[in-house]
């Protein structure tokens, strides 16, 4: 009898282990919102739509992500709302976060990255994690880095075929000090402006031009109000996919795992789609815009003019951080 009881207890214990290991995931019903300051078709908008699809599928339909392109406010307002927990997620140029964490200005250094592959390796490695780990103290959680790509210049006045052609142009820039300083150093009249106001400002000739990646120029229809496009690759834009820490911490581990794993899957898709879209957009823009490519000697002149800007912001973000990033890039380039 005792043997039978022992066998029964063992069986019950084994059943308990089996039941424990197959316990259902703790996933509840959620509807999240993500804000992106871009038009439909924008590479981060479509990346977010892909992420939404993956979240819904992996959560068994319990978790829904609604994508809001250019409707929940400008970057500064959205960032504050995510910190406060009134918006769940946002994706924006990583450099914009320098307003709350000065080290993020390093992502806006002119000519920092030479290729998307370099950027991927740095962002997905220890350096990217180091920057991401600075945000929880600011009420944010950096889920992952996506991409927007290399920035180019457009204007309605003249072709930019050399460095001096930038002088005197009234150019809209991101609401970020390093952008203002960069284009001021090149002799332009740099006008910080929210993206949602940009098309109208170009159309009404309030400003002469702007700078953005090819895909944004096309999806935002700037070719309708701009004649000249210059290929300069002057800055590469990582995109921070950020969450409200308040909202993130309230989720179960299983819910966080769904969001993280699907974001990783969406990242590979988003980056590849962004790069394909850039090539397609350039081909399409050539049909309606005059396109010029800055030659190496003119890019060298631009780099020389921007040296004081890089020195200024290197001091701001910390020379050791800049040295660390440059060390990572040097290893990749060898």
Distance CA 3, CA 10 (A): 11
Enter the CATH code of domain 152-235+283-333.
3.40.190.170
Query: Is pLDDT above 60 for 12?
Result: no
Q: At residue 269, what are phi and psi to the nearest 5 degrees? A: -65, -45
CATH of 30-147+238-282, picked from 3.40.50.2000, 3.40.190.170, 3.40.50.720, 3.30.700.30, is: 3.40.190.170
Burial of 187 (0-12, 13-18, 19+ CB in 10 A): middle
Sign of CA dihedral 77, 79, 139, 247: positive
What's the pLDDT score for residue 8?
Answer: 44
Q: Where are the domains of the chain?
A: 30-147+238-282, 152-235+283-333
On average, the pLDDT of the chain sits at 91
Q: Note the pLDDT tens digit of each residue in 40-74.
A: 889 999 999 999 999 999 999 999 999 999 878 88
Bridge-partner residues for 35, per DSSP? 68, 90
What's the pLDDT score for residue 13?
Answer: 43
What's the pLDDT score for residue 20?
Answer: 37
Q: Which residue has the tokens 């939404």?
A: 52
What's the pLDDT score for residue 37?
Answer: 87
What's the pLDDT score for residue 131?
Answer: 97
Q: Note the pLDDT tens digit of each residue in 95-121.
A: 999 999 999 999 999 999 999 999 999
What's the pLDDT score for residue 24?
Answer: 57
What's the pLDDT score for residue 71?
Answer: 79
Query: Is pLDDT above 60 for 282?
Result: yes
Question: What is the pLDDT averaged over residues 221-249?
Answer: 96
Question: What is the pLDDT averaged over residues 225-251?
Answer: 96
Q: Note the pLDDT tens digit of each residue in 308-323.
A: 999 999 999 999 999 9
Long-range own/partner contacts, residues 99-104 (CB < 8 A, 24 or more apart): 99/176, 100/138, 100/140, 101/134, 101/135, 101/138, 102/316, 102/317, 103/131, 103/134, 103/317, 103/318, 103/321, 104/131, 104/134, 104/240
Bridge-partner residues for 228, per DSSP? 155, 290
Distance CA 177, CA 96 (A): 9
4: confidence class by pLDDT, cuts 50, 70, 90: very low
179: confidence class by pLDDT, cuts 50, 70, 90: very high
What's the pLDDT score for residue 75?
Answer: 86
Query: Is pLDDT above 80 for 214?
Result: yes
Q: Note the pLDDT tens digit of each residue in 134-148.
A: 999 999 999 999 999
What's the pLDDT score for residue 10?
Answer: 41
Reference 233, options 327, 112, 63; nearest CA is 112
Least confident of 38-42, 154-158, 211-215, 230-234: 38-42
CB-based contact 36:70 (threshold 8 Å):
yes
């Amino acid at each position: 009898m005792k043997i039978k009881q022992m066998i029964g207890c063992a069986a019950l214990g084994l059943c308990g282990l089996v039941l424990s290991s197959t316990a259902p995931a703790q996933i509840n019903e959620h509807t999240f919102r993500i804000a992106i300051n871009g038009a439909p078709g924008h590479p981060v908008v479509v990346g977010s739509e892909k992420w939404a699809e993956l979240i819904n599928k992996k959560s068994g339909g319990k978790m829904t992500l609604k994508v809001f392109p250019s409707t929940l406010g400008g970057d500064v307002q959205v960032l504050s709302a995510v910190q406060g927990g009134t918006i769940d997620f946002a994706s924006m140029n990583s450099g914009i976060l320098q307003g709350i964490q000065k080290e993020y200005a390093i992502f806006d250094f002119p000519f920092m990255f030479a290729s998307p592959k370099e950027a991927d390796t740095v962002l997905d490695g220890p350096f990217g994690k180091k920057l991401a780990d600075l945000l929880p103290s600011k009420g944010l959680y950096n889920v992952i880095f996506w991409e927007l790509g290399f920035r180019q210049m457009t204007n309605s006045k003249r072709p930019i075929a050399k460095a001096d052609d930038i002088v005197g142009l009234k150019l809209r820039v991101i609401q970020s000090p390093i952008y203002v300083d960069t284009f001021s150093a090149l002799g332009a009249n740099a006008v910080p402006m929210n993206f949602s106001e940009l098309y109208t400002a170009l159309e009404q000739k309030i400003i002469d031009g702007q700078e953005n990646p090819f895909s944004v120029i096309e999806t935002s229809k700037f070719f309708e109000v701009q004649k000249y496009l210059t290929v300069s690759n002057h800055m590469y834009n990582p995109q921070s996919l950020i969450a409200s820490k308040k909202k993130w911490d309230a989720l179960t581990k299983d819910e966080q795992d769904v969001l993280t794993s699907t974001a990783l899957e969406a990242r590979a898709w988003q980056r590849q789609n962004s790069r394909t879209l850039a090539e397609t957009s350039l081909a399409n823009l050539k049909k309606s815009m005059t396109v010029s490519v800055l030659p190496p000697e003119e890019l060298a002149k631009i780099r020389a003019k921007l040296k004081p800007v890089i020195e200024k912001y290197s001091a701001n973000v910390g020379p050791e951080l800049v040295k660390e990033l440059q060390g990572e890039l040097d290893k990749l380039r060898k």
